[in-house]
C-alpha cells in the first residue's frame, strides 16, 4: 500500500513540475528554460554560481535570466543568497538537459562544479556540509559508483556513532540523488538510506521492514544494527 501511495504522489508531483516548467518557458522563452536546465545540476544555487553557469554554458540567454530563474517558482530561498529546486522540478529539468546535450554536458558541469566548490568554499565548519553536498552531487551524475561508496560509508559510520542529525542529513541527500543512483544500479544504497532514516526517527517497525530488504538484494556492504536482523 505504501508503494502505491508513493507512486501516486510521485505522479502528482511530476504533473505539477511539468506545469511549472512549461509555465516558466512560456513566460520567458527557450533560452531561459535552457538556463533552468543547467541550474538544476547543483544541489544549492547562489546568484554567483548561477551567473557563472550562465556565462560558461548558456551565454545566449540574457543576463537577466539569472534573476528570473532564482526568483521564479522553480526555486525557493533556503538561506542568505541560497536557493534550491524542488526534487521533482530538478529531476525533470535534468532529464531534459541530458536529452538535449547528452552525458557529455553532465561531465562538463560536474567538472565545473567541483572546480567552483574548490575555489569558493573552504573546508571550515560553516561551509563543510555544503561543500560536501555539492561535491557528491557533481559525482552522482558523473561517477556514481564513487559517490555511492562514499555515501554508504558515511551513513554506516554515522549510524555507529549514533549521530542522528548527520544520519538524517545524509539520508535526505541520498533521497535527493535517488534518480541518478537508481539509474546507475545502486538501489541497495537507497534501501539502506531509507531504513536508517526510519531508525533515526525511532520508527523501529518501518526500519526493520526496509533494512531487511537488503537481505533480498544479496548485499553485505552495509552496517545493519544486530537488533534489526534479529527482529
pLDDT tens column, 34-57:
999 999 999 999 999 999 999 999
Residue 220 maps to a domain:
yes
Residue 39 maps to a domain:
no
Euclidean distance between CA atoms 200 and 113, whole angstroms:
31
Nearest C-alpha neighbor of 90 from the set 217, 180, 191:
180
Residue 221 maps to a domain:
yes
Residue 113 maps to a domain:
no
pLDDT of 217 > 90? The answer is no
Burial class (CB in 10 A: 0-12, 13-18, 19+), 29: middle
Long-range contacts of 23-31 (CB under 8 A, 24+ apart): 23/73, 24/72, 24/73, 24/74, 28/65, 28/68, 31/58, 31/60, 31/61, 31/62, 31/65
Residue 98 maps to a domain:
no
Euclidean distance between CA atoms 14 and 18, whole angstroms:
6
Return the DSSP state at 45: B
pLDDT of 226 > 70? The answer is no
Domain residue limits at 204 = 143-231
What per-residue confidence (pLDDT) applies to 150? Answer: 92
Euclidean distance between CA atoms 29 and 127, whole angstroms:
35
Domain count of the fold of the chain: 1
Residue 176 maps to a domain:
yes
The three grid cell numbers given for residue 197, joined into one nine-digit string: 532514516
Residue 65 maps to a domain:
no
Percent of the chain scoring above 90 in pLDDT: 65
The three grid cell numbers given for residue 105, joined into one nine-digit string: 554536458
pLDDT digits (tens, 9 = 90+) for 87-146: 999 999 999 999 999 999 999 999 999 999 999 887 776 688 889 999 999 999 999 999
pLDDT of 212 > 80? The answer is no
pLDDT of 3 > 60? The answer is no
Asked if residues 187 and 217 have their Cβ atoms less than 8 Å apart, the reply is yes
pLDDT of 177 > 90? The answer is yes
* Axis crossing angle, helix 47-57 with helix 30-39, rounded to the nearest 10: 120
Residue 23 maps to a domain:
no
Confidence at 4, pLDDT banded by 50, 70, 90: very low
Confidence at 204, pLDDT banded by 50, 70, 90: confident
pLDDT of 5 > 70? The answer is no
Amino acid at each position: 500500500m505504501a508503494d502505491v501511495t508513493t507512486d501516486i504522489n510521485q505522479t502528482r508531483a511530476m504533473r505539477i513540475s511539468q506545469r511549472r516548467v512549461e509555465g516558466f518557458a512560456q513566460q520567458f522563452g527557450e533560452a531561459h528554460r535552457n538556463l533552468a536546465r543547467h541550474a538544476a545540476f547543483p544541489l544549492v544555487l547562489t546568484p554567483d554560481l548561477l551567473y557563472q553557469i550562465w556565462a560558461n554554458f548558456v551565454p545566449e540567454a540574457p543576463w537577466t535570466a539569472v534573476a528570473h530563474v532564482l526568483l521564479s517558482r522553480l526555486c525557493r530561498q533556503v538561506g542568505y543568497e541560497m536557493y534550491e529546486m524542488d526534487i521533482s522540478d530538478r529531476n525533470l529539468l535534468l532529464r531534459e538537459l541530458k536529452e538535449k546535450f547528452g552525458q557529455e554536458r553532465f561531465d562538463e558541469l560536474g567538472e565545473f562544479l567541483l572546480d567552483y566548490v574548490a575555489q569558493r568554499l573552504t573546508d571550515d565548519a560553516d561551509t563543510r556540509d555544503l561543500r560536501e553536498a555539492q561535491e557528491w552531487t557533481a559525482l552522482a551524475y558523473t561517477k556514481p559508483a564513487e559517490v555511492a561508496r562514499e555515501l554508504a560509508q558515511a551513513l554506516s559510520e554515522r549510524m555507529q556513532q549514533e549521530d542522528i542529525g548527520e544520519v538524517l542529513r545524509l539520508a535526505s541527500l541520498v533521497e535527493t540523488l535517488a534518480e541518478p543512483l537508481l539509474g546507475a544500479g545502486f538501489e541497495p544504497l537507497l534501501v539502506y538510506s531509507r531504513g536508517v532514516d526510519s531508525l533515526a526517527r525511532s520508527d523501529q517497525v518501518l526500519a526493520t521492514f526496509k533494512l531487511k530488504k537488503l537481505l533480498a538484494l544479496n548485499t553485505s556492504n552495509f552496517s545493519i544494527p544486530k537488533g534489526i536482523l534479529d527482529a
